[in-house]
Amino acid sequence: MLLLGALTGCGGGEDTAVAETTLAAVVPATTTPDVIPPTPASMPSPTYVPTAAQPATSAPEPTPTVMPPELPTPEPTPEAATEATELRFDDRAWTGGWRNRGDSIYGGRTATWIYGAGTDFSAMETTFELGSNVAGAAQLNIEGIDDELAGKSRITIAVNGTAIFDGDNPLPNDDMPLETGTWATYAFGFDSGLLQAGSNTITIRNHSPGGVGRPPFFMLDYAELLLRP
């Protein structure tokens, strides 16, 4: 408005027209033109680039089975006998004792003697084999006679070196009838654990002092070993 007043005061007529024209030219438009955004350039379609194939997932390797070290096979242990066993030891099966001439007959039986301690015939023994260990009852039956003296011979009976009897001979005294004798059987029970698989020995020893061919003596016809599971 100040500019318009100044221009009017300076002249009239044509000058006024020019001024109005000039004024019109500098007056800003009061209407905001529509703005049309430029058409965007078309975007290129993306090109699909396949990715490299993923390697196939392999199955996990099995865990190896670790075997324990092989141990040596133990030697088999003989099993205990499960059936009753009976072993018979005739007078001829015993060594170390004294035997009579010929068949060594006395009182109608064959026999082997052991005489007093200190003689060459004071002990007799027999050896036998067992195929297995023994569990259960064991019994040694001896058929024999003691000498004719009133007293008894002191004897020891041992199985594999362990005494199962030590004392006066429990068998009857001889009464001297050479045709019949006073034969009898006595049973000696013992622990079967004294026996073993393999070789075994039974020993009978006379501890009473004496000489050969006279009392004190112990006389045996046979023995039987009974094993019951």
Determine, yes or no, domain membership for 51. Answer: no
- Residue 100 within any structural domain of the chain: yes
Decide if 5 is inside a domain: no
Determine, yes or no, domain membership for 127.
yes
Cα separation of the two ends of the chain: 146
Q: How many domains does the chain have?
A: 1
Q: What is the pTM of this model?
A: 0.65
Residue 19 domain-assigned (yes or no): no
Tokens 């088999």 belong to residue: 76
Tokens of 117: 């301690």
Query: Rounded distance, CA 223 to CA 206, Å?
Result: 17
Q: Assign residue 91 the CATH number of its domain.
A: 2.60.120.260
pLDDT tens per residue, the chain (229 residues)? 433 343 344 444 444 343 343 434 444 444 444 545 555 455 555 555 555 555 555 556 666 666 666 666 555 555 555 567 899 999 999 999 999 999 999 999 999 999 999 999 999 999 999 998 888 889 999 999 999 999 999 999 999 999 999 999 999 999 888 888 899 999 999 999 999 999 999 999 999 999 999 999 999 999 999 998 7
As a whole number of angstroms, the distance between CA 217 and CA 149 comes to 10
Residue 163: which domain range?
85-228
Q: Is 98 contained in some domain?
A: yes
Asked if residue 34 is part of any domain, the answer here is no
DSSP states of 57-68 as a string? PPPPPPPPP-PP
DSSP symbols for 27-89 = SPPSSPPPP-PPPPPPPPPPPP-PPPPPPPPPPPPPPPP-PPPPPPPPPPPPPPP-S-EEEEE
Q: Please indicate, yes or no, if residue 15 is contained in any of the structural domains.
A: no
The region that residue 20 occupies, defined by phi over 0 for left and psi between -120 and 50 for alpha, beta otherwise, is alpha
